[in-house]
Amino acid sequence: MEKDSDLEEAWEYYKKINESLNGLFEILNMSIDKDNIFYQCAIDNLENLKEVIIDLMKKDYDSKEIQRKLRDLEFEMKKSLFFEKEKE
């Protein structure tokens, strides 16, 4: 029973990630000319991110290690988004 709820929860996370990536793709399509080099770079990064997430979900990694790494990633993102702007 617990495996089923874990699977359902993982599927819900996947759907949220997929919707977010698709939303970012739509924003890029609306705001950046497709001939712009930054558009293609952003698309490449979104595709790579999606592939990495799928690969990560396929592997049986230690969940504590993944949680630690995701927290590190979250901290680095917040640091670059909020604290780096103060230097400008």
Band (1; pLDDT cuts 50, 70, 90): low
CB neighbour list of residue 30: distance below 8 Å, 6 or more residues apart: none
Express each pLDDT in 33-87 by its tens digit. 888 898 889 889 888 888 888 777 777 777 787 788 888 888 887 777 777 655 5
Express each pLDDT in 18-36 by its tens digit. 899 889 888 988 888 888 8
**C-alpha distances in Å from residue 61, one per residue of 16, 55, 56, 64, 66:** 21, 11, 8, 9, 7
